């Protein structure tokens, strides 16, 4: 399938990590792996990941056991991620006061580094960050409050109370994101706290008891008052900040009147391609970052009928933002 190939996959999704779940099953085997020369460690400091910087650019910093042990103190159990570039990779939470000592290594916000990293590294670091965040926020049982222990290579957190043993699994929260069209125009919104002139597509979490398609209809109606009549699936994107799966759609609107019903958006408006280009030129419309599925939804629509692709316009008119 076309959208599964690396050239068209959304950032943070990648088929280059072999999760090798068979290794999660044996603690003994995992600890042998973790001590082997093939083991690589990806520390997470708060919400920051470790990258290496060199004359050839940025890359994931995957540490050997000896370098990791010399520089950092674990703040949580190791999480087995899988095979990548021939090594067995482990994510690990580290003590808050840590800093990188190796020359060229630095901790940073993955959102900011994402455009600078190879796609495969980005996906590995997104997976790393999401797993560590999940494990860190599931240290106790959600039913009885007893301490959990990590099992299955860190992919299960299980309650240690003998009469409970409740298991929790890595969590990802589905959210919908949708570009709504009507004729030659598309619907954009902005929240008050976003950077100046930033507009995006409509998005929101899927709620219990509804399908993703129903969430599209509901979110668009709640946020803009616009009625969606048809929906087409585009693609999905893991968004590891901290653990969302964005389900991307294109939709067509019936009624186009805008009412900001739930006040989540500060403003919503319909724009044609020509209006978008004009507003990008005068700095009153800045699209979402190209690493996001939101940008790709807009781009797919925009480039169907535009003399200049959206990416080119963005490079021409937008300041370099990440």
Q: How far is the CB of 154 from Zn ion (least distance, A)?
A: 18
Q: Does 138 bind Zn ion (CB under 5 A)?
A: no
- Residue by residue, DSSP assigns 210-260 as --HHHHHHHHHHHHH-PPEEEEEEEEEEEETTTTEEEEEEEEEES------
Nearer to Zn ion, 168 or 200 (CB): 168
Q: How far is the CB of 166 from Zn ion (least distance, A)?
A: 5
Q: Tell me the H-state helices in the chain.
A: 27-35, 65-71, 110-113, 119-136, 212-224, 273-281, 293-302, 310-317
Q: How far is the CB of 168 from Zn ion (least distance, A)?
A: 10
* Residues 104 and 52 sit within 8 Å (Cβ to Cβ): yes
Nearer to Zn ion, 164 or 212 (CB): 164
Q: How far is the CB of 142 from Zn ion (least distance, A)?
A: 8
Nearer to Zn ion, 156 or 164 (CB): 164
Q: Does 143 bind Zn ion (CB under 5 A)?
A: yes
* Contact pick of 91, 141, 215, 293 for Zn ion (by CB under 5 A): 141
**Spatial separation of the C-alpha atoms in residues 1 and 106, rounded to whole Å:** 37
* Contact residues for 28 (Cβ-Cβ < 8 A; gap 6+): none
Q: How far is the CB of 171 from Zn ion (least distance, A)?
A: 17
Q: How far is the CB of 141 from Zn ion (least distance, A)?
A: 3
Q: Does 197 bind Zn ion (CB under 5 A)?
A: no
Cα 129 to Cα 109, 123, 239, 312: the distances in Å are 10, 10, 10, 31
Find the binding residues for Zn ion in span 159-178 (CB under 5 A).
159, 161, 164, 166
Nearer to Zn ion, 163 or 319 (CB): 163
* Contact residues for 19 (Cβ-Cβ < 8 A; gap 6+): 81, 82
Nearer to Zn ion, 166 or 311 (CB): 166
* Contact pick of 16, 146, 300, 318 for Zn ion (by CB under 5 A): 146
Q: Which long-range contacts (CB under 8 A, 24 or more apart) does 2-9 make?
A: 3/235, 6/119, 6/120, 8/235, 9/119
- Residue ranges in contact with Zn ion by CB under 5 A: 141, 143-144, 146, 159, 161, 164, 166
């Amino acid at each position: 399938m076309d959208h599964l190939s690396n050239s068209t996959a959304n950032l943070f999704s990648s088929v280059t990590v072999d999760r090798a779940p068979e290794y999660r099953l044996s603690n003994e085997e995992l600890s042998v792996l973790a001590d082997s020369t093939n083991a690589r460690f990806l520390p997470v400091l708060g919400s920051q990941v470790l990258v290496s910087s060199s004359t050839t650019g940025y890359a994931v910093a995957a540490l050997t056991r000896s370098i990791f042990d010399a520089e950092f103190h674990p703040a949580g159990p190791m999480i087995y991620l899988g095979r990548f570039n021939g090594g067995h990779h482990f994510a690990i939470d580290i003590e808050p006061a840590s800093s990188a000592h190796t020359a060229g290594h630095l901790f940073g916000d993955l959102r900011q580094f994402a455009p600078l990293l190879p796609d495969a590294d980005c996906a590995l670091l997104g997976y790393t960050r999401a797993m560590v965040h999940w494990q860190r926020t599931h240290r106790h049982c959600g039913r009885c409050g007893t301490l959990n222990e990590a099992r299955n290579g860190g992919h299960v957190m299980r309650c240690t109370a003998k009469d409970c043993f409740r298991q929790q699994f890595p969590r990802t929260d589905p959210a919908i994101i949708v570009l709504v069209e009507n004729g030659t125009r598309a619907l954009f919104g902005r929240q008050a706290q976003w950077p100046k002139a930033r507009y995006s597509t409509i998005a929101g979490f899927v709620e219990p008891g509804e399908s993703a398609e129903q969430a599209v209809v509901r979110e668009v109606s709640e946020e803009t008052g616009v009625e969606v009549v048809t929906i087409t699936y585009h693609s999905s994107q893991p968004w590891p900040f901290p653990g969302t799966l964005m389900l991307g759609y294109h939709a067509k609107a019936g009624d186009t009147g805008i009412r900001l019903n739930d006040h989540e958006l500060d403003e919503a408006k319909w724009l044609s391609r020509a209006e978008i280009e004009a507003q990008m030129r005068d700095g009153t419309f800045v699209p979402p970052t190209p690493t996001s599925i939101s940008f790709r939804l807009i781009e797919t629509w925009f480039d169907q009928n535009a003399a200049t692709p959206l990416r080119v316009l963005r490079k021409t008119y937008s300041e370099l933002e990440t």
